[in-house]
Structure 1
Amino acid sequence: MQGFSTRSIHAGQEPDPTTGAVTTSIHTSSTYAQDGVGGTRGGYEYSRSANPTRTALQECLAALEGGRHARAFGSGMGATDTLLRILLRPGDHMVIPHDAYGGTFRLVDKVLTGWGVEHTPVDLADLDALRAAIRPTTKVVWSETPTNPLLGIADIAGIAAITREVGARLVVDNTFASPYLQTPLALGADVVVHSTTKYIGGHSDVVGGVLVTDDDELAETVTFTQNSTGSVPGPFDAWLTLRGAKTLAVRMERHCDNAERVAELLDAHPAVSRVLYPGLPEHPGHEVAAKQMRRFGGMVSFLATGGREAALQVCASTRLFTLAESLGGVESLIEHPGQMTHASTTGSMLEVPESLVRLSVGIEDADDLLDDLRTALDAAR
């Protein structure tokens, strides 16, 4: 198999056979001429069903995750919704992380429950707890690793062994790691999901999602359902995501370099009571993360010693870390999950600590980021 960067630049992206253009074209056409009724050229008839720019993106992302099939969506939640509608029926049960992403929890708890789907939040780092939560009706185990925003680590291979035993599907949200750092299909996952808005796109300029699987039948069903519901990205969005994927490896190395230095600073600062970063040896998931990840990623969370007000003070005091939701872009971001990305978990088992601050560490000069954080932390003491 070719190296990761080679695949990210070339998979699905051959030079145009007519013009020789080395970059993939943005095919804005909504419809395609047919050579006689049913005589499509390359299978293209209508861009909700298929689009050449989207095809290039899908081939690239499948190659990066080491899967046979990828299907790109208009958002990560669109991908999640489509997949769960396929895998679950009224009366079915699913397991979710006890610290799942707020958007995933909102979909499961506020939408799917109205459809008769039951769910149980579980600390997926505890395989015994997962076994205890499995029911005869369990059809899906949904995992994030690292989790958003508490940076929990789940043993993908260990969970996969359990789901195989009980006949459930293991879905891994690989957004925080990116396919550069972790490939869940190789560890036994059935489906990988990404918000490509994040590290794969990488520039905070496009929203998208993807499902990747080796299961031929499931991929066919996803294709049918996606076409039926219309949850597709536009050609320009597909092109922006594809362009971002080309530099994923070099960006992730810099994200990881910077995050490691940020975690060290936070770990030594008196305004921080706890650092949540799997790269630190004291992190409870450090050994598992080291086994299944290339490096430890660009996301760092921490608890402010002074509680909620101190956390808000830090968020208000940074200058290079922009106060904004989302993550994975080249610029550094800071947020207060309890009032921003994870507000939907308030009052539930998944409620996050009020003192929690989440950092998406960008690729700026590390010394500048450290100075910015140090100044903000000193102000919050």
Structure 2
Amino acid sequence: MSDIDTRFARMLHARSKPAQGEALQPAIVPASVYHQAGDPSGPYQYGRWSNPTWTALEEALGHLEDAETIIFPAGLAAVASVFYPLLQPGDKVLLHADGYGATRGLAETYLKPLGITFDLTATGMVGDHDLAGYRMIFIETPSNPGLDICDIAAIAAKARGAGALLVADNTTMTPLGQRPLDLGADITLASDTKALNGHSDVLFGHVATRDAALAARMRDWRKMVGIIPSPFDTFLVHRGLETLELRFTRMCDNAEKLAPRLAAHPRLKNVVYPGLPSHPAHNLAARQMTRFGSLIALTFAGRAEAERFMEDCPLLRQATSFGGLHTSAERRSRWGDKVADGFVRLSVGCEPVEPLWQAISATLDTI
């Protein structure tokens, strides 16, 4: 039994001793104001600052992350929360060149004009980079969409020696699949729109840190800027979180069974998955990840073959997100990712694996 299994089980029962007759599930509190007689006091004073529904989710996520957690209305808002309050003009940031493109877009469009310098490097090369002079190192491992991997613990030690903060985007793995804070990262964040919520019905994100001063600055930035989630969205994510272990286990089990079969199929030019021995960082993945994840990178001969596969396979959804209950696929070059035209990001869902494989293999056979 792993520590994360124990932690998740305890998280599920953290609210199991309410008062007699009290609801076991957190309430949706759609409040903009709270009773405030006399001098302001108490945890809830104004709706932009705090909310009981937020508190319930932040406590649950905090238990899972073993760190103070702050929630946001989108994954990119979580990214912004580590840039804007923690950086200032003149700071240098080392940022992934091959991870989520919107992170680089935010940096290029809105932070560079403020005098913050961003240098780009491939995920697999971060550990070889000289980190002297950087304020922040921002990594995403496995990277989206190429599934490249870097050594979090080694980079954390190197960043600490250089006086830099290490921020790890853990969207592809969730706290169940990888523990960046345990490996030395200062901050971890995720788009909870993906697997953590899992039902493709809400945009959400969170950051987590064990540094109280960093947490206070990010929480205050949320309060002042007003980038806050709605109580109903927060409730939906809390509900999704409670089935995360079941869903993530099924998704990873499915992906681990599908990846070698896909790698052996003659219609595919290349298959990348951290769980395959052919992945150049397979041994590192086995050390620092508790599972190999639910994303598989497929490369077809060209755009036509990739789009035919996605169009014809009856158990695939074509969508730009990932991590949901349903298996989905997307040709990533259409968004400008530096991948081949025939590159497809396959997000393996929770379907029974043999019918899913039969649908995928039958479609591949026709291409």
What is the TM-score with the length of structure 2 in the denominator?
Answer: 0.95
- For 2:167 and 2:341, the matched residues in 1 are separated by 29
2:302 pairs, out of 303, 307, 317, with 307
Q: What SS does structure 1 have at the residue aligned with 2:310?
A: helix
Which residue identity does 2:8 align to in structure 1?
S
Q: From 7, 11, 14, give the equivalent of 2:10.
A: 7
The match for 1:268 is 264
In the alignment, which residue of structure 2 is the partner of 1:252? Answer: 248
Matched, 1:331 2:326: yes
The residue type equivalent to 2:22 in the other structure is: G
Per-residue CA deviation, residues 43-79 of structure 1 (Å, 9 max, x unaligned), is 1011210001101111111111121x10000101011
Aligned twin of 1:185: 181
CA contact (8 A) 1:58 1:70 kept: yes
Equivalent residue runs for 1:216-255 within 5 Å: 216-255=212-251
The one-letter code sitting in structure 2 at the alignment partner of 1:313 is R
Matched to 1:260, the amino acid is E
Describe the SS at the equivalent of 1:20.
Answer: coil
Aligned AA (2:6): G
Question: Residues 127 and 155 of structure 2 are in contact (CA less than 8 Å); yes or no, is this contact kept in structure 1?
Answer: no
Match of 1:322 among 317, 323, 333: 317
Match of 2:106 in 1: 107
Give the deviation of 1:14 after TM superposition.
Answer: 4.6
> Which of 38, 41, 45 is equivalent to 1:39?
41
Q: Per the alignment, do residues 19 and 37 of structure 1 end up closer, same or farther by CA in structure 2, a change over 3 Å counting?
A: farther
Aligned twin of 2:361? 374
Q: Is the 8 A contact 1:313 1:379 kept in 2?
A: no
My pick for the range that moved more, 113-122 or 210-219, is 113-122
> 1:107 and 1:344, CA in 2 relative to 1: closer, same or farther beyond 3 A?
farther
Cα distance in 2 for residues equivalent to 1:360 and 1:223? 32
Deviation string for 1:321-359 (max 9, x for gaps)? 1001111111111111111xxx244xxxxx222221001
Distance 1:286 1:228 in 2: 43
Contact 1:8/1:60, CA 8 A, preserved across alignment: yes
Quick one: distance in 2 between partners of 1:14 and 1:46? 28
Q: State whether residues 30 and 46 of structure 1, in contact with CA within 8 Å, keep that contact through their aligned partners in structure 2.
A: yes
Aligned with 2:273 (options 258, 273, 277): 277
Using a 3 Å threshold, how does the CA distance of structure 1 residues 49 and 15 change in structure 2: closer, same or farther?
Answer: farther
Q: Which residue of 2 aligns with 1:65?
A: 65
What SS does the aligned partner of 2:299 have? strand
Which secondary structure does the structure 2 equivalent of 1:141 belong to? strand
Structure 2, unpaired ranges of 5+: none
Change (3 A) 1:18 1:46: farther
Q: Which amino acid aligns with 1:3?
A: T
Aligned AA for 1:330? Answer: L
Q: Is the 8 A contact 2:171 2:191 kept in 1?
A: yes
Structure 1: give runs of 5+ residues left out of the alignment.
Answer: 346-350
Cα 1:62/1:187, change in 2 over 3 Å: same
Deviation of the 1:16 alpha carbon: 4.5
Q: CA deviation at 1:135?
A: 4.5
**Aligned residue type for 2:333:** G
Partner of 1:352 in structure 2? 339
After TM superposition, the structure 1 stretch with the greater mean CA deviation from structure 2, 306-315 or 187-196, is: 306-315
Paired residue type of 1:318:
C
- The answer for the alignment partner of 2:91 in structure 1 is 92
Could you tell me which amino acid in structure 2 is paired with residue 245 of structure 1? Answer: L
**Segment of structure 1 superposing worse, 310-319 or 260-269:** 310-319
Identify if the C-alpha distance between structure 1 residues 196 and 128 changes in structure 2 by more than 3 Å, giving closer, same or farther: closer
Pick closer, same or farther for the CA change 1:217–1:122 going to 2, 3 Å: same
1:262 and 1:278 map into 2 onto residues whose CA distance is 13
Letter in 1 for 2:328: L
- Aligned residues, how many? 364
Q: Give aligned-pair identity as a percent.
A: 38
Q: SS at 1:96's partner residue?
A: strand
Distance 1:107 1:344 in 2: 15
Q: Please tell me the residue identity of whatever aligns with 1:331.
A: H
SS at match of 1:242: helix
CA contact (8 A) 1:75 1:197 kept: yes
Cα distance in structure 1, aligned partners of 2:359 and 2:296: 15
Q: 1:113 to 1:210 in 2, by over 3 A?
A: same
TM-aligned CA distance change 1:128 to 1:65, over 3 Å: closer
Deviation for aligned residue 1:7:
3.2
Cα RMSD (Å) of the superposition? 1.6
Distance 2:323 2:358 in 1: 21
Instruction: Give the Cα separation in 1 of the matches to 2:10 and 2:209.
Output: 17
